[in-house]
Amino acid sequence: MTKVAQENKSLNEKTQVLIVGGGAVGLTAALDLATRGINVIIVEKNIAETPAVPRANHLSARTMEIFRTIGIADKIRKQGLPDDFANDVAFVTTLTGYEIARLPIPSRNERFNSVGYIDSSWPTPEPAHRCNQMYFEPVIRDEAIANPRIKILFQTEITDFTQDEDGVTATGKNIVSGSLVEIRANYMIGCDGARSMVRKKIKSKFIGDDVISRNRMALVKMPDLLKNLAMEPAWMAWFMTPKGHGSVHAIDGKDLWCFHCTLPQGEEDMESLDRDAVIKAAVGLDLPYETIHAEDWYGRRLIASKFSDRRVFLSGDSSHIWIPMAGYGMNAGVADAVNLTWKLAAVLSGWAAPAILDTFTVERRPVTEQVSKHVANIAVVNYAAEIRRNPPVELFEEGEVGEQARASAKGFLLEANMDQFNCAGLNFGPVYDESSIIASDAATPPPFELGSYVPTTIPGCRTPYFTFENGESLYDKMGLGFALLRTDPSLDVSAILGAAKKVGMPMEVVDIEAGAADGVYDHKLVLSRPDQYVAWRGNEVPIDAGALIDQVRGAAA
């Protein structure tokens, strides 16, 4: 039987985890599960060669850390813009007019060990990467196709499923042949997008703000734009003209550009905005171009009322829809996936109790609610700004009047947008402090802010990252299981290791230098989860080490 089935003639399949939807989130979930020794079937409606839609343009540092764990970060980082193409964010009148402000972000060949950029000091082994989904999704898909633990059924649709105490039975059909397909799995993940069949089937409803903005998008081939730019190239440029405002992304650093044109507030008719007229106004010159792809989209803030039902889970757009400020839409889905996949792998491998899966919703839904409000607020502030809706004529003038108008606008634009592009808190700041598998102490986690991050070993927070003096990455040394980080090598931790070994829990001991990460490790012991979140900390081994291990693996009474 071929691993990639173009014609699914078999009526019956069995696997440990079934993933409905083979986009970036579903593929990442499958690869993480496979890396942890779990067998997966992905069901995807499209053919293997279907081009990815040019939606996501940014891979967060946290997503790149996850790609590092599954071994594909280097391949992903080679995709996208040319090595020397600046990843800056520019604010302009038009692309051939005046630059008002700029946020400096390094190109790929300056990405590591960079200084002087807004995100240079982030504590991560994998800084963010600006790359369009057109280029990174095929890499993830190819990795999944090549993985012996993953089987992908292309051109296949799941239309229904049932659950019982032992698993999930999903039924569907091959779209081409019409033959019926039945898949039996221990667990199922719905990564099937905003119109998710899986979400509807478990009676989970979207709640939130249905429409924050209305937008018209066009991916265009415009060969003459790059040489006609009036400023240095930028990965992203926000434009504001009397004809309309929006943004444009450099896709290949040559002749592909993606324009997003925002309708005026209160205007509901998409057709009322002439997409071509706004693109022409945004460029500032009448340059020839070819439209490759066009679609209309709504900026929303919608969150599923529940993220799971017994053996069925939601990740990505099936559980939340974001307005793409701070570039966190797909990245939030990846964060969902890896919060879930290590827990599924732990249960299926026999060392965690099934109750650990209940913490998926407990951990991810509050974070999603919290972050989505911050992100939506950025959108509201920007879209409501008078300078965007009705840019003053002085903004486009030469001489001192124009310079003063642009200088005045610069402060607002930078202040309103700094947090979404310098978003260390968004990447590293979410906290899982209400989770039953977190052994909380009396300390209060730092408040969540998009633009700031305070490293801490408080349980529920991301395990603070640092690089050892010899250049080794902390996260690399921690491995795929739990890691017991020890600042005092003389401390006997055999009781914890023995309790973990007794139940089959994988655990590495990593000795770290005193004062590591600028003294953030102020406890002698820190227990880090497989997803690099702190589960427990202390200055001595607990009296009942077995009780601690039972708590963090979801087996506490």
Identify the pLDDT of residue 228: 97
| Confidence check: pLDDT of 37 > 80 | yes
Would you place residue 266 in the very low, low, confident or very high pLDDT band (cuts 50, 70, 90)?
confident
| Confidence check: pLDDT of 4 > 80 | no
| HSE of 144, CA atoms in CB hemisphere, 13 A | 34
Q: Which two tokens stand for residue 224?
A: 């003459």
Mean pLDDT of 178-196: 97
Say if residues 349 and 35 touch (Cβ distance below 8 Å).
no
| Confidence check: pLDDT of 232 > 50 | yes
| Confidence check: pLDDT of 1 > 50 | no
CA-CA distance, 206 to 306, in Å (whole number)? 9
How much is the mean pLDDT over the chain?
Answer: 93
The string of pLDDT tens digits covering residues 435-471 is 999 999 989 999 999 899 999 999 999 999 999 999 9
Count Cβ atoms within 10 A of the Cβ of residue 546 and give its class: 0-12 exposed, 13-18 middle, 19 or more buried.
middle
The string of pLDDT tens digits covering residues 49-100 is 888 788 889 999 999 999 999 999 999 999 999 999 999 999 999 999 999 9
Spatial neighbors of 398 by CB under 8 A, at least 6 apart, are none
CA-CA distance, 252 to 84, in Å (whole number)? 12
Mean pLDDT of 35-55: 91
End-to-end CA distance of the chain: 44
Identify the pLDDT of residue 15: 98
Say if residues 319 and 307 touch (Cβ distance below 8 Å).
yes
Q: Which residue is associated with the tokens 């905005």?
A: 273
Give me the count of residues in the chain: 557
DSSP state of 120: T
The string of pLDDT tens digits covering residues 344-391 is 999 999 999 999 999 999 999 999 999 888 888 888 888 888 888 889
Would you place residue 518 in the very low, low, confident or very high pLDDT band (cuts 50, 70, 90)?
confident
pTM of the entire structure? 0.95
| HSE of 525, CA atoms in CB hemisphere, 13 A | 22
The string of pLDDT tens digits covering residues 200-218 is 999 999 999 989 899 999 9
Identify the pLDDT of residue 390: 87
Say if residues 206 and 321 touch (Cβ distance below 8 Å).
yes
Over its C-alpha atoms, the chain yields an Rg (Å, rounded) of 24
The string of pLDDT tens digits covering residues 295-342 is 999 999 999 999 999 999 999 999 999 888 766 789 999 999 999 999
Say if residues 391 and 385 touch (Cβ distance below 8 Å).
no
| HSE of 373, CA atoms in CB hemisphere, 13 A | 8
